[in-house]
Amino acid sequence: MYALKLTEKNGKYTFTMPTGKVTVKGSFVEEAPVQIFKDVPVDAYYYEAVKWAAEKGITGGVGNGLFAPNQPCTRAQIVTFLWRAAGSPAPKHMSSFADVPADAFYAKAVAWAVENGITGGTGDGKFSPDATCTRAQAVTFLYRASGSPAVGGGCAFGDVAATAYYADAVAWAENNKITSGIGGGLFGSDNDCTRAQIVTFLYRSVK
């Protein structure tokens, strides 16, 4: 009895059939999850999303091997995540927001977001890059980045009024299993959106 050499290609294994009787037995060992960031446990609900985002170059964390999953996500961070997920396309023109320096890491992302109707800023010629995004704002950015697809029916969350600017975005996110809310029939519209949450929303939107 001897073992046959297996050849792997695109997840498929083949071997050369010998002339004698063949008994095929296979054993596979599940690959252990690798901890990407020190503060992202492998059993966290957002582990796969953060791993995907790191592999795609969407995020490199906050330094020192940390991702800071529970930190609130800023407007600059969110548009940068979306921009990188889209392939970091070069904007036709840079934005003219007074609070977006031309050399800021998020400058091209903001310009791209404006060109694609994802954001129009916060008024008075400002983008407010350091302001924290709420869950409602984050889902709206993601919805607009996806082309603002038509939504059939409203959402079932008690804290999302039918007339709210983010109503369609939340309904779209719910219908596409991007979010199921925070429990108790609520979406948590005004809650700060954490870095873990926005990366998870983004990951689910492309799956």
Q: Tell me the pLDDT tens digit for each residue of 180-193.
A: 999 999 999 999 99
Q: Residue ranges of the chain with pLDDT lower than 50?
A: none
pLDDT at position 27 is 58
pLDDT for 51: 96
The tokens describing 117, both together, are 């109707």
Calpha distance 66→23 (Å, rounded): 49
Under 8 Å between Cβ of 158 and 166:
no
CB 69 within 8 A of CB 59: no
118-138 confidence digits (pLDDT tens): 999 999 999 999 999 999 999
Residue-level pLDDT at 164: 94
pLDDT at 30 (0 to 100): 55
Other CB atoms within 10 Å distance of the CB of residue 142: 24
What count of other Cβ atoms lies within 10 Å of the Cβ of residue 112? 23
> Which ranges in the chain belong to alpha helices (H)?
47-55, 75-85, 107-115, 135-145, 167-175, 195-206
